[in-house]
Amino acid sequence: MDLLYQQLLAPKKWSAFLDLGIWRFLWAGLSVTLQIAAASIVLSLILGLLLAVMRSSRLPVISWIAVVYIEVVRALPVLFMIFFTWVVASRAGLGLNLVGQASLALTIYTAAINAEIIRAGIASIERGQVEASRSLGMTYTQTMRYVVLPQALRRMVPAQVSQIITLIKDTSLAAVIGVGDLTRRAQIIYQSEFNPIQSLFVVALIYFAINYSLSLLTRRWELAIGGTVQAVGPSRDH
């Protein structure tokens, strides 16, 4: 019991967090985390859109390439993608720094998931609506633009936000290749301060605050678009 007090609650284990310098140090880590996340989100949306379009192409070769990419990438661990990208990118001399390599790995991974979210979102619009629009004389583009996409995009939001939450958690894996993100900085702190429990807990709280807020926003959104909310998109990926 005394040991527990000493190790968990003792002031000297927490005193590091009274130092403003430590918070600045962590803040720098948080901005690296968010940088990687932001870069990956944006790039993976673009790549994911491309993949979704390829997948629905009439040409079997193009569709097939997209399918293989999506299924293979989704079957691999994110850590594997990060390591593989790290080793190959250094060899290829692309001039990417570690943050860039981590972002690239996460982009490649998330794009596959985005492609599926987009596909599921569009597919969730009942065929009846498409048929009705066409019989009203709307062209394919008009159907997509005024009927399908607005609804599909609204339905995709929960899945997209869920993916963002997963992405923010996955940025912690960049610590493993040496990126100075939030998780890595927690490690550095507890090496000199000997407070792994406290440091990891504080950092966990920061991740929690961000992700929980995002999930609350999703719930609000789901209620706002109301009615029968069908959560579209793959739930395979955590």
Partner 1 sequence: MPPGAATAVPGAPPPFGTALANNLPLLLSGLVTTVSLSALALILALALGLVFGVLRITPLAPLRALGTVYVEFFRNTPLLVQTFFAYFGLPAVGVKLPGFTAAFLALGIYTGSFVAEVVRAGILSIGRGQLEAARALGLSYAQMMRHVVVPQAVATTVPPLGNLVIALVKNSSLASTIAVADLMYNGEIVNSRTFATYEIFGFVALCYLVLTLPMGGLVGALEHRLTRYRR
Partner 2 sequence: MMHLPRRAAFARPVSVLLAAALVACGTAGGNAAPSGLASATARPAGTSFPATSYMAKIVQRGKLIAGVKQDVLLFGYLNPRTNQIEGFDIDVVKEIAKALFNGDASASRVEFKPVTSAQRIPALQEGSVDIVAATMTITDERKQQIDFSDVYYSAGQRLLVKKDSTATKIQDLDKADKTICAAKGSTSEQNITKFAPTAQKLLFDGYAECLTALQQGRTDAISTDDVILAGLAEQDPNTKLVGDKFTDEPYGLGIAKTSTGFTEFVNGVLRQIKTNGRWKATYQQWLGKFGPVPEPPK
- Report the interface residues with partner 2, using CB under 8 A: 15-16, 18-19, 21-22, 24-25, 90, 93, 95, 97-98, 176-178, 180, 184-185, 187-192, 194, 196
- Residue 21 binds which of partner 2, partner 1, none (CB < 5-8 A, kind-dependent): partner 2
Angstrom distance (rounded) from CA 111 to CA 69: 10
Distances (CA, A) of 138 to 58, 67, 149, 238: 21, 30, 14, 39
User: Residue 78: CA atoms inside 13 Å, Cβ hemisphere, count?
Assistant: 24
The least CB distance from residue 138 to partner 2, in Å, is 54
DSSP letter string, 160-185: HHHHHHHHHHHGGGGGGGT---HHHH
The least CB distance from residue 85 to partner 1, in Å, is 10
By CB under 8 A, tell whether 90 contacts partner 1. yes
The residue among 187 and 213 lying less far from partner 2, judged by its C-beta, is 187
Residue pair 218/161 in contact (Cβ under 8 Å)? The answer is: yes
The least CB distance from residue 141 to partner 1, in Å, is 26
The residue among 123 and 136 lying less far from partner 1, judged by its C-beta, is 123
The residue among 4 and 18 lying less far from partner 2, judged by its C-beta, is 18
Which of 215, 221, 222, 229 forms a contact with partner 1 (CB under 8 A)? 215
What the block records as the tokens of 110 is 């998330």
Q: In whole angstroms, what separates CA 174 from the centre of its chain?
A: 13
The residue among 23 and 221 lying less far from partner 2, judged by its C-beta, is 23
The residue among 112 and 202 lying less far from partner 2, judged by its C-beta, is 202
Neighbour-count burial of 77, counting CB atoms closer than 10 A to its CB (0-12 exposed, 13-18 middle, 19+ buried): exposed
